[in-house]
Amino acid sequence: MGASVSSHELTDGSRVAVVGGGPAGSLVGYFLRRMASRAELDLAVDIYEPRDFSKAGPAGCNMCGGIVSESLVQMLAVEGIILPDTVVRRGIESYVLHTDVGSAAIRSPVEERRIAALYRGGGPKGSNVGQWGSFDAFLLGLAVQAGCRHIPARVTGLEWAADRRPLVRTADGEGGIYELLVGAVGVNSPALSLFRDLGVGLEAPKTSKTFIAEIPLGQEAVEKHLGSAMHAFLLDLPRLQFAALIPKGDYVTVCALGRDLDPETMTRFLASPPVRACLPGDWDLPAMACRCRPAINVGPRGALYGDRVVLVGDCGVSRLYKDGIGAAYRAAKACAVAAFCRGVSRQDFARSYAPRCRKMVIDNTLGKFMFACSAVVTKVPFLQNAMLSMTRAEQASGSVRNDMSMVLWDLFTGSAPYAEILVRASSPRFLGTFAWHAATSLLRSSGRAGRDNGRS
Ligand X SMILES: Cc1cc2nc3c(=O)[nH]c(=O)nc-3n(C[C@H](O)[C@H](O)[C@H](O)COP(=O)(O)OP(=O)(O)OC[C@H]3O[C@@H](n4cnc5c(N)ncnc54)[C@H](O)[C@@H]3O)c2cc1C
Q: Is 154 in the site for ligand X (CB under 6 A)?
A: yes
Taking CB under 6 A as the criterion, which residues in 309-328 touch ligand X? 313-314, 318, 323-326, 328
The only residue of 71, 108, 210, 378 in contact with ligand X, by rule CB under 6 A: 210
- Spatial distance between the Cα atoms of 228 and 146, rounded to a whole number of angstroms: 34
Min dist. Cβ of residue 328 to ligand X (A): 4
Q: Is 302 in the site for ligand X (CB under 6 A)?
A: no
Both ends of the chain: CA-CA distance in Å?
81
Taking CB under 6 A as the criterion, which residues in 265-294 touch ligand X? 294
Q: Is 205 in the site for ligand X (CB under 6 A)?
A: no
**Secondary element (H or E) of residue 107:** strand 102-107
* Residue closer to ligand X, measured from CB, 222 or 388: 222
* Residue closer to ligand X, measured from CB, 132 or 321: 321
* Residue closer to ligand X, measured from CB, 214 or 314: 314
- Spatial distance between the Cα atoms of 346 and 338, rounded to a whole number of angstroms: 11
Please, is 445 exposed, middle or buried when counting C-beta atoms within 10 Å of its C-beta (0-12, 13-18, 19+)?
Answer: middle
Q: Is 66 in the site for ligand X (CB under 6 A)?
A: yes
Beta bridge partners of 157: 169
Q: Is 22 in the site for ligand X (CB under 6 A)?
A: yes
**Residue among 334, 378, 357 nearest 236 (CA):** 378
* Residue closer to ligand X, measured from CB, 306 or 316: 316
Q: How many residues contact ligand X, by CB under 6 A?
A: 38
Strands (E), 135-273: 149-151, 155-160, 166-170, 175-177, 180-183, 206-209, 211-216, 229-234, 240-248, 251-258
Chain Cα centroid distance, residue 312: 14
Q: Is 21 in the site for ligand X (CB under 6 A)?
A: yes
Following DSSP, what letter does each residue of 315-333 receive, concatenated? GS---SSS-HHHHHHHHHH
163-202 mask for ligand X (x: CB under 6 A)? ---------------------xxx-xx-x-----------
**Residue among 435, 198, 182 nearest 333 (CA):** 182
Given the rule CB under 6 A, which of 45-53, 74-82, 223-231, 442-450 is the region that contacts ligand X?
A: 45-53
* Residue closer to ligand X, measured from CB, 143 or 212: 212
Min dist. Cβ of residue 180 to ligand X (A): 16
* Residue closer to ligand X, measured from CB, 168 or 279: 168
Q: Is 20 in the site for ligand X (CB under 6 A)?
A: yes
- Spatial distance between the Cα atoms of 409 and 150, rounded to a whole number of angstroms: 37
Q: Which residues bind ligand X (CB under 6 A)?
A: 19-25, 48-51, 62-67, 154-155, 184-186, 188-189, 191, 210, 212, 255, 294, 296, 313-314, 318, 323-326, 328
